[in-house]
Chains A and B, each alone.
Chain A
Amino acid sequence: GAGVSQTPSNKVTEKGKYVELRCDPISGHTALYWYRQSLGQGPEFLIYFQGTGAADDSGLPNDRFFAVRPEGSVSTLKIQRTERGDSAVYLCASSLTETDYNEQFFGPGTRLTVL
C-alpha cells in the first residue's frame, strides 16, 4: 500500500516568498504530524492534527507558519515571508490513531532551501 507522500521533494525559494508544502498521509490515518529537521539535528515537532483540527500547534516557531487539513486527509504547511533560517527538511508523519503504541509513519520529506 501507499505510504506517506510529500510534495515537492525539493523546494528552492527566495527570502520573503511564500511556500506551501503538501503531505498526503496513509489512507485512514486520523493523526497527522509535521516535523522540521535542521542539518545535523533530530526532527522537531511543529504541529499535530487529529482529524481536521490542529490539536497541538505548540511547535510552530512563529506566526509565519500555518498548517491546514480541511478534509481530515491531506495537509498543507504554509510558510509566509520565508527566511534563510527556515531552510530545513520538513517531515510529515501519520498514525492510525493517537494512542501511544501506534507508530508514526514518516514521509520522505520536503527539503526547503531559502536563498
Chain B
Amino acid sequence: AQKITQTQPGMFVQEKEAVTLDCTYDTSDPSYGLFWYKQPSSGEMIFLIYQGSYDQQNATEGRYSLNFQKARKSANLVISASQLGDSAMYFCAMRERGSNYKLTFGKGTLLTVNP
C-alpha cells in the first residue's frame, strides 16, 4: 500500500488566490512527521513546512499552512495568496520514527499559478 498518496497530478490556481494540495498517509507508527517540499524546475528540494504527529496545532509558515486531520490521516498544504513563483512540483513526505527517519515521498503535484 502507498504510504503517501497525492491524488492531484496537476493543479491550477489564479495568482493571489489560495490553493489546497492534498496528501493522505498511511502508518501504524504512533510517532511520525509530515513534511512538504517544493521542487522548482531547477530541481532543488526546498523544505516548506513540518507537522509532528503529536502537535496539537496546525503548522504555519508564512503563506503556507498545513491542514492536519489526524483521524483522517490527511495533511493538506494550503498556500495563500499564490504567486507566480509558486509554480513548481510539491511533494508530501512522511518520516516514521520506526523507519530510521528516512523520508517516504508521494508522487507529487504540479502546481501552475496563472497570471
B31 at the interface (CB under 8 A from A): yes
**Contacts between the two chains (Cβ within 8 Å), count:** 65
Q: A33-B102, A33-B103, A56-B102 are in contact. Are A43 and B52 (CB under 8 A)?
A: no
From 62 to 115 in chain B, residues with beta carbon under 8 angstroms from any chain A beta carbon are 91, 93, 95, 97, 99-108
What distance in Å separates the Cβ of A6 from its nearest Cβ neighbour in chain B?
10
User: When the two chains form their complex, are residues A91 and B45 in contact, meaning their CB atoms are under 8 A apart?
Assistant: yes
**Cross-chain contact B100 with A98 (CB below 8 angstroms):** yes
Interface flags, A14-40, vs B, CB<8A=1, else 0: 000000000000000001010100001
Question: Chain A interface residue count: which class?
Answer: 20 to 34
Residue A105 is within 8 A (CB to CB) of chain B in the complex? yes
Given A100-B31, A100-B33, A101-B33; A45-B97 close (CB under 8 Å): no
- Give chain B's interface residues, CB within 8 Å of chain A: 4, 31-33, 35, 37, 42-45, 47, 50, 52, 91, 93, 95, 97, 99-108
